[in-house]
Amino acid sequence: MTQDKKVNDLISQMRTAVDSARAATAATPAPTFSKQPAPAMPALAKTTETNQSRALLLLINELMSGVETRFGIKPGTLVERKLVRIFKDMPMETLRDWVESMNNCSPDHSEWQSLVENLTVHETYFCRDPDLMSMLADDILPHLLNLRKTQKQLQIWSAASSTGEEVYDLTFSALRAMQKAGYARLFDGKLVPESGWGLFVFGTDISNQALRTAKGAMYGDLGMGSFRNLPDEWKGMFEDVKIAPANAMPGVKYFKIREWIRQCTRFERFNLMNNRPPVMGMDLVFCRNVLIYFEDPIKKAVQTMLARAMSPGGVLVLGASVQMLTPEYFESRLGKGGPWYVRNDTRV
C-alpha cells in the first residue's frame, strides 16, 4: 500500500470517527463541555481564523504525540498537514472531544489500533538483504549453533516481523545451517531437525493486519511484492496454492510456505514500546527497518528491552543505519552484511 493511500485511509477513518462523535454530541441534550464557564461554540465563533488554526494544530499535535508515546512512531509533517486540511472545517469542540477520548484510551483500544494500522509501513520481502542473509548463514548461525550444541535448541525472534517474510527467511536459513552442521536432515523432501534438536522462530508486530498475512503464510507473485528478490535456491520454501486466499487479486499466482517451515514458527501482537519482552532466552533477535521511525530515547528503550529478552552469547541484528545505543549489553562485530551485536553477561 502506498503512503498516500495510507494517509487517505487514515483521514477517512478519522472523518468517520469525528462524524460519529458529532452525531453523538448532537443527540446528547447536555454536552460534557457545557461544564466549562463559557459555552464552546459561541466562544469559537468569535475567535479569529489564526486562533482557530492554531487550536487545530495543537489538537493534531496532541494526537500525533499520543501516537508517538504509545507506539514510538513519529508521524511526518505530510500527515500532519493533510490532517489540518481535513479538520479545519470540523467543529473544534467535537474534534477536541474526540482527541480527549483518545488520550484516555490505552494503546490496545480499537481506535488507536485502527490509527496505527494506517500509520505503519509494512514494506518487506523475502531475502530483503542478500549480504545480511549470507552473513547469517556463514557467520551468525554457525556461531549460535556452536554455542547451543549442548542445549540443542535455537530460539529466534523477529521483533516487527510485518507480514512474516523475515520470519520464514530466518526459519529456512536456520534449518539449512543446522543441516550443514549435521543437526538437521532432509527427510521425505522436508528439512527436519535431528532428534533432540528444537527450532523456535517467533514473529511479533503491532499490526493485526500484517500478523494475519504472516499467519496465513500465503504470498502473491506481484511485480514488486514479496518475491522481488528471491534467489532460486530459496524457492524450496514454497508450495503451489490450490485455493487462493479470500482477498486474492485476479491474475496473481499465490504460493504458500511449506508446512515443515511453518511448524517452527509462531506470531503474536507485541508493541515494542512495552519494556517487558514477550519471550526470554532468545539466541537471535532481528529488529530491522522499524527503529528508523523512532527517536533516540525510544530506540534506546527498545534496545534495552531486546537485551532483556536475550541469552548471553545471543546475537542482535538491527538495520545497518541504526546506531547501537546500549553498548553496555553488547559486543559489536562487523561482517560483510553489516554490524551484529553479541549479548554479554551484564544483567538488564
Ligand X SMILES: C[S@@+](CC[C@H](N)C(=O)[O-])C[C@H]1O[C@@H](n2cnc3c(N)ncnc32)[C@H](O)[C@@H]1O
Nearer to ligand X, 26 or 320 (CB): 320
# chain residues binding ligand X, by CB under 6 A = 23
Where in 143-162 is the site for ligand X (CB under 6 A)?
160-162
Alpha carbon distance 177, 179 (integer Å): 5
Least distance (Å) between residue 158 CB and ligand X: 6
Selection from 63, 252, 279 nearest residue 158 by Cα: 279
Residue with C-alpha cell 462523535?
Answer: 21
Selection from 121, 111, 117, 119 nearest residue 83 by Cα: 119
Q: Is 210 an interacting residue with respect to ligand X (CB under 6 A)?
A: yes
Task: Choose, by CB under 6 A, the member of 109, 128, 215, 333 that binds ligand X.
Answer: 128
Q: DSSP characters for 118-164?
A: HH------TTS-HHHHHHIIIIIHHHHHHHTTTTTEEEEEEES-TTS
Task: Choose, by CB under 6 A, the member of 4, 100, 108, 123 that binds ligand X.
Answer: 123
Selection from 130, 278, 303 nearest residue 200 by Cα: 278
Span of 170-178, 180-188, 195-203, 271-279 interacting with ligand X by CB under 6 A:
271-279
Q: Is the dihedral of CA 216, 220, 223, 229 positive or negative?
A: positive
Q: Is 207 an interacting residue with respect to ligand X (CB under 6 A)?
A: yes
Q: Is 75 an interacting residue with respect to ligand X (CB under 6 A)?
A: no
Span of 36-44, 201-209, 237-245, 255-263 interacting with ligand X by CB under 6 A:
201-209
Least distance (Å) between residue 229 CB and ligand X: 11
Where in 4-63 is the site for ligand X (CB under 6 A)?
none
**β partners of residue 10:** none
Q: Is 114 an interacting residue with respect to ligand X (CB under 6 A)?
A: no
Span of 146-154, 203-211, 230-238, 340-348 interacting with ligand X by CB under 6 A:
203-211
**How much is the CA Rg of the chain, to the nearest whole Å?**
24
Question: Where along the sequence are the contacts to ligand X (CB under 6 A)?
Answer: 71-73, 120-124, 128, 160-162, 166, 205-207, 210, 271-273, 288-290
